[in-house]
Amino acid sequence: MDATLAALADPTRRKVIDLLREGPRPAGELAQAVQMSAPALSRHLRVLRAGGLVRAEAGGADARLRLYTLRQEPFAALQAWLDQVQAFWAEQLGSFKDHVERRQ
Amino acid sequence: MDATLAALADPTRRKVIDLLREGPRPAGELAQAVQMSAPALSRHLRVLRAGGLVRAEAGGADARLRLYTLRQEPFAALQAWLDQVQAFWAEQLGSFKDHVERRQ
DNA sequence: CACATCGTTAACGTCGTTGTTAATCTTTGC
DNA sequence: GCAAAGATTAACAACGACGTTAACGATGTG
């Protein structure tokens, strides 16, 4: 949970996540997409790997390429925590909820 | 979105969120709960406020107290983004999904 | 009014993170 | 074998985040 949110805190890493939503991509292609040097992005990918958000698999044809793919678990865990937090409002159905909505 | 995840990246701030799930609390009570000096927590609360995750309302009885409460919007926005990311797996119902599941 | 209490801001030192260039390793192609 | 390409690690400088103590403003209490 800590590693997950720390990884997602960086805009570059979130952009990588968004790029990987469209399918697995090699590291170099990601670096080009975020306008950043390969070493810089490599460390971002390291953070994402450490948090378990992505996984690197060997590219079939060219063994030099490392194809990165999204992993499911951390996102599911984060969503579970979010559901717990949002229960705060679900449980408040009476005057307090009205109060909150008025204030917003 | 950026301010939201940056705010949630810190463990102390997440603990504050979890404490506020049980109801509004004054700043001092929160500082004591996380074992931290009042100024340190005050800056954490500032970050949470800037991200719109919490809101401070004047305590009715004692005007010195600032009661902090959770706000809904950022959590809803984060959940919407998470849903988009998780669509990555929902859309993969064929052999690729099997491949991913096998790998995990 | 004098004094304590709650909360925030200011100033300071410290540690972690981010990006760049240079060097390393593996794999590919001639 | 040798040079080029993909990716990572190493070393470095720069910037920001975090916590502490000290100082400040605002509100309650005698």
In this prediction, residue A103 carries a pLDDT of: 47
CATH number at residue A87: 1.10.10.10
pLDDT tens-digit profile, chain B (104 residues): 999 999 999 999 999 999 999 999 999 999 999 999 999 999 999 999 999 999 999 877 899 999 999 999 999 999 999 999 999 998 766 555 555 554 44
**Other C-beta atoms lying within 10 Å of the C-beta of residue B69:** 17
In this prediction, residue A93 carries a pLDDT of: 65
First to last CA, chain B: 29
- Check CB contact of A3 with chain B, cutoff 8 Å: no
pLDDT by residue (tens digit) across A17-76?
999 999 999 999 999 999 999 999 999 999 999 999 999 998 778 999 999 999 999 999
pTM: 0.87
Closest-CA distance, B101 to chain A, in angstroms, reads 9
Phi, psi angles (nearest 5°) of residue B100: -60, -45
Phi, psi angles (nearest 5°) of residue B68: -100, 140
Q: What does R_g of chain B's alpha carbons equal in angstroms?
A: 18
The domain of A56 spans 1-102
- Check CB contact of A77 with chain B, cutoff 8 Å: no
Q: Pick out the nucleotide with least CA–C1' distance to A9.
A: C17
| Total domains, chain A | 1
Q: What is the DSSP string of chain B?
A: -HHHHHHHTSHHHHHHHHHHTT--EEHHHHHHHTT--HHHHHHHHHHHHHTTSEEEEE-SS-TT-EEEEE-SHHHHHHHHHHHHHHHHHHT--SHHHHHHHHH-
